[in-house]
Amino acid sequence: MPHGEWVLERLLQRATATAAQAAGRRWRRIRLEGAGPLDWKPGHHIRVQVGPLSLRTARDVLRTYTVWEHYDNILELRVFDHGVGPGARWANGLTPGTEVRFKAPEGRFTVRESAPHHLFIGEETASVAIGAMTRALNGHCRSLIEVDDLADQLPVDGDVQWLHRGAAPAHDSPTLLKAVASLEGIKPGTVAYIAGEAKTCQAVKRHLLQDRGWPRHDIVVKPFWTPGRRGMD
């Protein structure tokens, strides 16, 4: 086995998929069991091996998914079926009983516990992190989440404004930006967490900084994907 593959193999944890099923129109619920104790914070993601280990196809080996829930050595994922890509194929083809390898939970898109108020902004893929983080805040927060329509909404705690873009593309979407621009009643000290498609994230961040004078240190941004890029982490 080449050295690079050996290093990756040593980095990966193992668990067994004990559920792999539809959870809404385009969501797959994946439950991974038996990984052993993991250090997890709401908002953390894992890098899942979705293809055979090979340096020649390194870009198609790992894909990033937020941990929806972690309890009793179980990790729950929610994978959005956006249509193409090894990650989407892996989630659609996974069957219970299959071994799954992944890198331990990590990430800096987590709740800033010292903040007095929290505002979450994102689209479908971001709603997994938003769901985990708002649960940790017992719903004491606001969220703006853009999806195609009702069928793609995950259960998210707190004051949630769902935005439906309909058939419009998910990238560089004006819908979310428009809704953020018309937000009222934002309390001083609110931390804004922005995630999802990269161009939309940038547009929302720019608006908060330039039009609302939001303090830079109170904005947390994590781009999850963008057209033409594969396997962002």
Ligand X SMILES: Cc1cc2nc3c(=O)[nH]c(=O)nc-3n(C[C@H](O)[C@H](O)[C@H](O)COP(=O)(O)OP(=O)(O)OC[C@H]3O[C@@H](n4cnc5c(N)ncnc54)[C@H](O)[C@@H]3O)c2cc1C
Residues that bind ligand X (CB under 6 A): 45, 63-66, 78-80, 82, 84-88, 107, 125, 128, 170, 222, 224-225, 227-233
- Smallest separation, CB 213 to ligand X (Å): 28
How many angstroms separate the CA atoms of 65 and 50, rounded? 11
Nearer to ligand X, 133 or 180 (CB): 133
- Smallest separation, CB 212 to ligand X (Å): 25
How many angstroms separate the CA atoms of 49 and 188, rounded? 42
CA pseudo-torsion sign 105, 157, 29, 230 = negative
Nearer to ligand X, 80 or 120 (CB): 80
Nearer to ligand X, 41 or 63 (CB): 63
Nearer to ligand X, 99 or 233 (CB): 233
- Smallest separation, CB 228 to ligand X (Å): 5
CA pseudo-torsion sign 9, 96, 196, 229 = positive
Q: Comparing C-alpha atoms, which of 171, 144, 174, 140 is closest to residue 158?
A: 140
- Smallest separation, CB 181 to ligand X (Å): 23
Compute how many other C-beta atoms are within 10 angstroms of the C-beta atom of residue 176. 25
